[in-house]
């Protein structure tokens, strides 16, 4: 792969803090070069009172999780398993998980829960971003949506890969097969994260990994944090599989609408290709995930049924919150971003 196309060639800068906990965390990470790391007492004390869906908690979690992915410029890799940071992460995770569990109905009927995901509205869904962009969204709104989604798509499939060592047999083999496609099936030019970078370039957006973190509101961060949370805990492997199933089952119709939006708004061939690829690939993946990943896991560990249901419902909840945020902003004539307009983004590298 040409390195100018690779968005992860350079680690991003630490973000601007959004509250006392993220401020203490960012300050500690930016100033510490050798052990021990000094995390302010205000971080641990403040974590207990944070809004579980708010900017301070979600940004803090995102920063802590990112230490396991690409890291940050100027931040030592040694802090990935720093006990103080893990203790803070655990407190933030407990608040986030408790809030999610309190909001979803739960249950054990995995088949019915997955079947609900296949139901598509007969007309336009007013709560759907892809429906909005397909028929009435502007090019600038399309660019905003790509900027927001870049926090996940530039590391697409990586959070789900955490579950691979925790699966075995049919579930593991099927999960690896789907992930293999996500990572380009051996062809670096077809890695989905790279295809999304090409989409961003077609839209005139900055493709650097993490570039839009400061512009991303809490509902965006929550959708990405959920994947990392579920992936980094073996006890939540069933929920991670539920999340993965939700993504693969709902992707084809949503991607088809977004592909039409790209064509309607003249986004360019690379932008169109990303969603065209997901319409085709995820239609196959959906069958494999339902039959072999979920089915295989249930055959091996039937006690994980409630966790799979939770993963589906939590994903749906957070995606609904994000859609509501984005559509409320657009219908009110506002940007869905926090403080940066894609129109001012740096031109992509040549």
Reported as a single tens digit per residue, the pLDDT across 46-100 is 998 999 999 999 999 999 999 999 999 999 999 999 999 999 999 999 999 999 9
Domain of residue 77: give its range. 3-102
Is the same domain home to 66 and 39? yes
Is the same domain home to 145 and 255? yes
Which one of 42, 74, 102 terminates a domain?
A: 102
The pLDDT assigned to 14 comes to 97
- Kindly indicate the confidence band of residue 36, based on its pLDDT and cuts at 50, 70 and 90: confident
Does residue 214 contact residue 22 with C-beta atoms inside 8 Å?
A: no
The mean of the pLDDT values for the chain is 92
Is the same domain home to 60 and 145? no
What pTM, to 2 d.p., does this model score? 0.94
Which one of 102, 134, 161 terminates a domain?
A: 102
Is the same domain home to 137 and 38? no
Domain count for the chain, please give it: 2
pLDDT digits (tens, 9 = 90+) for 172-214: 999 999 999 999 999 999 999 999 999 999 999 999 999 999 9
Is the same domain home to 76 and 140? no
Angle between helices 218-231 and 83-103 (to 10 degrees): 110
- Percent of the chain predicted with pLDDT > 70: 94
The pLDDT assigned to 2 comes to 47
Which one of 36, 67, 102 terminates a domain?
A: 102
Residue 138 counted as domain residue: yes
Distance in angstroms (rounded) separating the CA atoms of residues 215 and 123: 32
pLDDT digits (tens, 9 = 90+) for 233-264: 999 999 999 999 999 999 889 999 999 999 99
Residue 350 counted as domain residue: no
Is the same domain home to 137 and 28? no
- Kindly indicate the confidence band of residue 120, based on its pLDDT and cuts at 50, 70 and 90: confident
Closest listed residue to residue 276, CA positions, set 294, 300, 298, 252: 252
Domain CATH number, residue 260: 1.20.910.10
Kindly state the average pLDDT of the residues 15-20. 96
Residue 349 counted as domain residue: no
Is the same domain home to 76 and 125? no
Per-residue DSSP letters for 177-244? Answer: HHHHHHTTTT-GGG-HHHHHHHHHHHTT---STTTTTTT--HHHHHHHHHHHHHHT-GGGHHHHHHHH
Is the same domain home to 28 and 150? no
Is the same domain home to 93 and 124? no
Is the same domain home to 33 and 118? no
Is the same domain home to 73 and 141? no
């Amino acid at each position: 792969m040409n390195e100018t196309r690779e968005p992860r060639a350079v680690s991003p800068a630490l973000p601007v803090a959004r509250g006392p906990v993220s401020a203490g965390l960012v300050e500690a990470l930016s100033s510490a070069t050798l052990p021990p790391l000094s995390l302010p007492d205000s971080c641990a004390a403040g974590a207990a009172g944070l809004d579980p869906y708010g900017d301070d908690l979600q940004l803090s979690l995102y920063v802590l999780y990112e230490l396991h992915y690409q890291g940050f410029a100027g931040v030592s890799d040694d802090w990935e398993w720093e006990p103080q940071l893990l203790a803070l992460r655990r407190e933030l995770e407990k608040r986030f998980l408790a809030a999610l569990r309190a909001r979803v109905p739960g249950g054990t009927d995995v088949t019915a829960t997955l079947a609900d995901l296949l139901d598509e509205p007969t007309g336009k869904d007013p709560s759907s971003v892809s429906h909005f962009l397909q028929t009435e969204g502007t090019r600038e709104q399309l660019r905003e949506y790509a900027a927001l989604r870049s926090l996940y798509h530039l590391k697409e499939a990586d959070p789900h890969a955490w579950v691979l060592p925790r699966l075995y047999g049919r579930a593991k083999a099927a999960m690896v097969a789907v992930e293999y496609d996500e990572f380009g099936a051996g062809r670096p030019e077809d890695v989905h994260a790279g295809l999304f970078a090409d989409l961003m370039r077609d839209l005139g957006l900055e493709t650097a990994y993490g570039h839009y973190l400061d512009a991303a509101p809490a509902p965006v961060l929550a959708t990405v944090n959920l994947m990392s949370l579920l992936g980094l805990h073996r006890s939540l492997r069933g929920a991670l599989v539920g999340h993965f199933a939700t993504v693969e089952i709902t992707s084809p119709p949503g991607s088809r609408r977004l592909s039409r939006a790209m064509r309607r708004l003249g986004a360019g061939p690379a932008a169109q290709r990303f969603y065209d690829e997901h319409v085709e690939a995820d239609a196959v993946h959906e069958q494999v995930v339902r039959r072999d990943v979920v089915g295989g896991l249930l055959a091996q560990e039937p006690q994980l049924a409630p966790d799979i249901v939770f993963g589906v419902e939590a994903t749906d909840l957070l995606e609904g919150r994000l859609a509501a945020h984005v559509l409320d902003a657009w219908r009110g004539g506002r940007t869905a971003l926090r403080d940066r307009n894609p129109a001012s983004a740096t031109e992509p590298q040549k």
